[in-house]
A and B are shown apart, each in its own frame.
Chain A
């Protein structure tokens, strides 16, 4: 059996990774992508659950046009009811706009023919929808059991101190928003921190300053 000649994807943030990123976004994904999603929608089963975190978000972006309209139609066609398509449609809206404002809720409701109140109920139930604009880097620090045992709260404090923000507030330069989350499902490698769609594991309070510096200089 010959070795695979093509490695299509290597998660640069997986467990044990020490941060030696040798691939660029284009290396990993090629150029056939909209945001973090392949133009053809990717594998059907996974398509609605991909994380959508674009570094460049446009709160004024139209819902939806161009390739995003195609993706929306594809999402809509996958569900027997409009209500079923609500969550992936909201994911798409957040990917574009960076957060789900009341206006966005109204627009998504109109697109799917649902009641605005119901969309609001769904958006507010799920913590991964940003109800307010967030910074270029959304830093989610886990303080659940494993991470708490390994100084999760101190890591959180370090992020807040070094970004000079309050919990949930965005720094003045618009770069960072730090929030506390419950379990990122990386309990084997505490403290787990998710920055946009990347995981950073085994983070210690002392690492925070350098990590932020690298984000400022090189992006994710």
Chain B
């Protein structure tokens, strides 16, 4: 590929031919302010904020659409370019309400950032501002017309990505405003949350998140969306150990810049307060809470006297490490059948403009991982039924993560040993001999294997509830003590052990997975979604 070399802000940079000035500047760490340009959308060059001074050009050039040329001398940071931006920003503020103190975008607002860094310190406007008020676009989206900078990213997203052009610019001049067809709204678009993400200002905000938290109080934890097997890369935004919202994290192989409204909306369960917080052991005198050491010691004793095939019920919400540890324990005890249940939607919902991203039928994050680890799917599409064998098991019965909501109260009552590992109390686990609290995916480190057989890491966003421990740690230490081996010390180590036994994961380590994950070794011929 041929390249061009140019000078930006006094520094030489070489980029492939056809690169825009904006991207060329990015190469050397110079961010040219912009609103209308978005890497995944067409560039109309209408916000006039990315104008840069190109030597020899008769007037400032929009850097988002101007291609870098050999020998060009570009200034983005001083003189004309800076003056231009200062002027443009002043225009943007003519009718802007400056309501940052009550605006959700405050703290992550591009208008705020740009004006703060290079706008005028004081406004000169004396005329009254025009007022639109706010408009409910339906779904989770609320529109504050007065904050809008008319970048039309939302209009282009609906047209190019969702391919459902329900948004448009209505009227002209200072009366121009983003709107739908009268009261029609966004028509329940499954992708509408993304327009809130790409809005550079506080014009489009989430109703769900409205006035819940200030942007600067939120902690961002890289994670993977747990709501379908697509495994969109996300950031979990938390404050004071409470999840407040999920935001997509860019990954061109999986979800681009986007995620679906279904995934985005299902996070309240991570905040559930009805948690198992310490291990319980049922003995002859009823339930006791001996702490982890006591519980694991007596469980180990019971396991030693209980060899033979086990029945195990797992969940596709559990990580690869958790499921791998369960499998290892089951194998040590004499093998057996591990089953899981997972809800399935009737159909897939692809994003028309980026069909790699699809809300998959499997509404759990690790069904592919479960399949790779040899787990067997049972039950119906609403994740009920299919556990008759396990319910009537007479040997060892281990349940991991499945809340058994549809199961009878005598579930597992005939089992010689019934161990329940879960985050939440389960009615059907009253026959259990051991009830062990484990963390949710949001409280632990681990990996999911998505529908593309891509292994992706997530990190803990919340503190564990009470004494809850990751399942890989609980199960791993049991296996280790039965085998006289060292206990896995970290999720990375647990994954390492797993990878040694599963050809698809061989050679993959946490280092190699990085923040965007990596495909498993070969497309495994697994049953299920195709």
Question: A residues touching B (Cβ–Cβ < 8 Å)?
Answer: 102, 105-106, 115-118, 120-121, 124-125, 127
Contact = CB atoms under 8 A, between A and B. Distances in A.
Contacts of B181: 102, 105-106, 115-117, 120
B169 A121 contact: yes
B184 interface: yes
Contacts of B170: 120-121, 124
A124 B165 contact: no
A116 B185 CA distance: 12
5 A-B pairs with least C-beta separation? A121-B168, A116-B181, A115-B165, A117-B168, A117-B181
Contacts of A115: 164-166, 168, 181
Contacts, number: 36
B171 A117 contact: no
Interface string B165-199: 11111111000000111101000000000000000
B172 A117 contact: no
A120 B172 contact: no
Nearest to B165: A115
B317 to A, nearest CB: 39
Nearest to B171: A124
B182 A118 contact: no
Contacts of A116: 181, 184
Contacts of B167: 117
A124 B181 CA distance: 11
Contacts of A127: 172
Nearest to A106: B181
A120 B168 CA distance: 8
15 contacts: A102-B181, A102-B182, A106-B181, A115-B181, A117-B166, A117-B168, A117-B179, A117-B181, A118-B165, A120-B179, A120-B181, A121-B169, A121-B170, A124-B170, A127-B172
A127 B172 CA distance: 9
Contacts of A118: 165, 168
Given A117-B166, A117-B168, A118-B165, 14 more contacts: A102-B181, A102-B182, A115-B164, A116-B184, A117-B167, A117-B179, A117-B180, A117-B181, A118-B168, A121-B170, A124-B172, A125-B169, A125-B172, A127-B172
Interface string B494-523: 000000000000000000000000000000
A21 B479 CA distance: 105
A9 B180 CA distance: 44
Interface string B404-431: 0000000000000000000000000000
Contacts of B182: 102, 120
A118 B168 CA distance: 6
Contact of B165 (A105, A117, A125): A117
Contacts of A117: 165-168, 179-181, 184
Contacts of B165: 115, 117-118
Interface in B136-188: 164-172, 179-182, 184
Nearest to B175: A124
Contacts of A120: 168, 170, 179, 181-182
Contact of A125 (B166, B171, B180): B171
Contacts of A105: 181
Contacts of A124: 170-172
Nearest to A131: B171
B137 to A, nearest CB: 11
Contacts of B168: 115, 117-118, 120-121
Pick the most buried of B164, B167, B172, B181: most chain A CB atoms within 10 A of its CB: B181
Task: Tell me which of A102, A116, A117, A121 has the highest count of chain B C-beta atoms within 10 A of its own C-beta.
Answer: A117
Contacts of B172: 124-125, 127
Contacts of A125: 169, 171-172
A110 B181 CA distance: 13
Nearest to A115: B165
A121 B172 CA distance: 9
A115 B168 CA distance: 10
A47 to B, nearest CB: 26
A106 B166 CA distance: 12
Nearest to B180: A117
Contacts of A102: 181-182
A127 B165 CA distance: 23
A104 B503 CA distance: 63
B17 to A, nearest CB: 31
A125 B170 CA distance: 7
A106 B180 CA distance: 12
Nearest to A102: B182
Contacts of B169: 121, 125
A105 B180 CA distance: 13
A102 B184 CA distance: 11
